[in-house]
A and B are shown apart, each in its own frame.
Chain A
Amino acid sequence: MRDSKKTTISASSPLGKRSGLSNTGILLLITVSLFVILYVSSTILFKDSNFAKYSVFFNLINNKAYLLMLALGLTVVLITGSIDISVGSVTGLVSMVIATMLSSQSNISAIWAIPISLLIGVAFGIVQGYLVSYMEIQPFIVTLSGLFFARGMISVINPKSVPISDKLFMSWSSAKVYIPFLYNERKNGTMDVAYLTPAAITAIAVLIIMIIVMKKTKFGRSLYSVGGNPQSALLMGVNVKRIKFMAHVLCGLLAGIGGLLYTLFAPSGNPQNGYGYEIDAISSSVIGGVMLSGGVGLPIGTLFGVLINSLIERVVPLLGIVDASWPRIISSAFLFVFIVLQSLFASAGHKGSFKPVLPQWMRFNLKKKN
């Protein structure tokens, strides 16, 4: 951005301006209230599984810290109207690299896991971002190749499962940071204190940074403007290509962090690690209120999207369904509901007639279509 004047860019899509509450606000409200309803109803329905306990709530974050990172990355790229489906494989690649690095034979310090995982993520982000924004290749194809590449590299590095034996890394993995005052008494008199893992603390810190970046910085506002309307963003002096490139790099970086957090959560390298996580991340972002057409979405909404996914995974077994495939089906059903909602919101601004909700890179002939 070369303009010296500070430009104010609205986060809401042009469609939402007619109503009192912006699209962003409505979608966020729905997501948050859905989470609250789900949580309260599961507290009432499953009295034995202690949903009223603080520790159970915080475990929702502990278990899905990595997904929060991936979903935040996707939030950023989806807001610019692009997409990145390589994040799941990058997560798997990072965990495999760390596991191979810290396996019993080598004596590399666990500290190196941090820069290496970030580097892998950023490298993917840079290459994909360059191809998407400067070579103008469709992001779906680029990141699909990225997915293939990362998934293949996992087995090139190590086709078998590797456990991590490094003591320092394991101490990070199993560390718990107890939260004072948030405890419940167990029946036998001991305290069940809520805790956060270092991974969850990292995730929350990144989330806060992302909220500030998206809300307060020039870069963050440019992301919305690029996704909302690239033409006017260009006219305002936003370097659209550069912003899109940066969004992909940021998404790659977050995927790298996500890989690190995932390895902390499940400390072993497995060729199947991170399989299908891109889908979980997309659905978390969408449930969290990110409009696929670009320009709409908030990081805090993504947090609730992740929490809903995490809650579904915990509640479904309690319904007496043992089969592991049901959380997926129910999560998909939620995704379906939210997509339909988004579609209705997009049409709401157009007085009863449906309008296509297409992201930037799919709007091939937008001018003629509209």
Chain B
Amino acid sequence: MKMGLFNDRKGPAMLSPSAGKKLLNNRLIFSLLVLMVVVVQNIITTPNFFEITMTNGLLSGYIPNILDEASELIIVTMGMTLVIAASGGVDLSVGPIMAIAASFCGLLLNGSEYRTDVYHSPYFLAILFGLVGAALCGAFNGFLVSRLKIQPMIATLILFTAGRSIAKQITHGQTIYIMNPTYKWLGVQIPGIPIRTTILVSIAIVILVVLLVKLTSLGLYIQSVGINGSAARLVGLNSRVIKFMAFVICGILAGVAGLVSSSSVGSVNSGELGLSIEMDAILAVALGGNNLGGGKFSIAGSVIGAYTIQAITTTLYAMNVRADQLNVFKAIIIIVIIVASSEVFKEKVNRLFRHITKKNVPVGGLSDERQ
């Protein structure tokens, strides 16, 4: 993993493999470490951490709560992982796309009414419509990035700034309340199933993405386009189509997250849905040890990253940190993790390690650099 600014810079001369360095070289180690610290801290402070009880026919407790709250983030993170891997840039517009998808769905279900329990159109049609809207947004981003070669962050900036306003126009500027109990199926519970649907949806999405990546060649294609676009083209891959598809998939997944999110609150509020989730998703991908420069990616890493972020959030909430102050701690933790896993820091630690042990190792030899 090379987090460097300069593409011309050769990686630091690697030192001999030592136990410390091997540990440092593991991409996931810091993320896992933080997750472990958070969990251990939780176990100490909350004795009923592992307790799972049945309330109102739903499994509830600490762990189901974290799983439930992380589900939206995980769904969005899956799409973000693919986009980052394929294009080497980020999709800033996932939050607004969530709002747009939910707004389309709400518009179809409620018609022109702001608060009703009568569906104006079939449920599944509305869901489909929402997802199509999200896919269109993804396609717009994908078109800008793959056809016009605009860097992803700026291309998605357009929908990032305009998206919530568009969603607001779709719902005529008002929060829509969908009172029909079946609307809550997707975000709360399908009657008879004791696990919250959000958890099931997130697991299903993860499995789907893993299957898509592992069973089909898409994962390999995305990786090769991300690592070296022109080489990928030379072996016959259409890198434009693959980048485009990554953005469309990201859009659809953001749409799913938007529908789940709006369903769990039973309303469509375009200003609040998925607010600043894009930041969390990018950080989850980074924490998962994925290179934000594109190329190799790990779905498992992203999932762990997302859970780490959600675990940090939940723990801080439990420590009575207010929602708006949360960002301070989040920022510090993230910077520490990113700095600790950066190449320069590793090099410095290695140098320090060598200095202490006074081992003089031939520079540049014995390299086990695989990245």
Answer whether A and B are interacting partners. yes
Question: Which of B19-27, B71-79, B342-350 binds A?
Answer: B342-350
Indicate if the CB atoms of A140 and B328 lie closer than 8 Å: no
A325 lies within 8 A of B164 (CB):
yes
A234 contacts across to B, CB distance below 8 A: 8
| B227 interfacial contact with A, CB 8 Å | yes
CB contacts (< 8 Å) of A279 on chain B: these are: 157, 160-161
State in angstroms the CA–CA spacing of A370 and B7 once bound together.
Answer: 13
Q: Mark B220-256, 1 if CB is under 8 A from A, else 0.
A: 0000000111110000000000000000000000000
Q: Is the CB of B344 within 8 A of A152?
A: no
Q: How large is the interface on A (under 10, 10 to 19, 20 to 34, 35 or more residues)?
A: 35 or more
Q: Does B90 contact A (CB under 8 A)?
A: yes
For B153, give its contact among A132, A140, A142 (CB under 8 Å). Answer: A140
A336 and B151 in contact, given A136-B343, A144-B282 (Cβ under 8 angstroms): no
B128 within 8 A of A: no
Q: Is A358 an interface residue (CB 8 A)?
A: yes
Q: Are A369 and B228 in contact (CB under 8 A)?
A: yes
Collect the chain A residues with CB atoms within 8 Å of residue B322's CB: 155, 159
At the interface with chain A, which of B29-37, B299-307, B331-339, B351-359?
B331-339
List residues of A (95-149) whose CB comes within 8 Å of B's CBs: 131-142, 144-149
Counting residue pairs across A and B whose Cβ atoms lie within 8 Å, the total is 189
Q: What is the size category of the interface that chain B forms with chain A?
A: 35 or more
The docked-state distance in angstroms from the alpha carbon of A32 to that of B4 is 37
Judge if B329 is at the interface, Cβ distance under 8 Å. yes
Given the contacts A152-B329, A325-B168, A340-B148, A364 and B161 also touching, CB distance less than 8 Å: no
Partner of B169, one of A135, A325, A358, A367: A325
**Assembly CA distance A271 to B328 (angstroms):** 14
CA distance A68 to B292 in the complex (A): 30
Residues of B contacting A151 in the complex (Cβ-Cβ under 8 angstroms): 324, 327
Contact B330 A152 (CB under 8 A): yes
Within 8 Å CB of A328, what residues of B? 161-162, 165
Please report whether the interface of chain A is mostly helix, strand, loop or mixed according to DSSP: helix
Contact status A365-B326, CB under 8 Å: no
CB distance from B268 to the nearest CB of A (A): 15
A239 within 8 A of B: no
Pairwise interchain contact A149-B324, C-beta atoms closer than 8 A: no
A183 CB → nearest B CB, Å:
37
A363 within 8 A of B: yes
> Apart from A145-B334, A339-B154, what are 18 other A-B pairs with CB-CB below 8 Å?
A131-B335, A131-B339, A134-B344, A136-B4, A136-B6, A138-B293, A140-B153, A141-B283, A144-B283, A159-B322, A231-B8, A282-B157, A292-B154, A325-B169, A328-B162, A356-B149, A365-B227, A365-B293
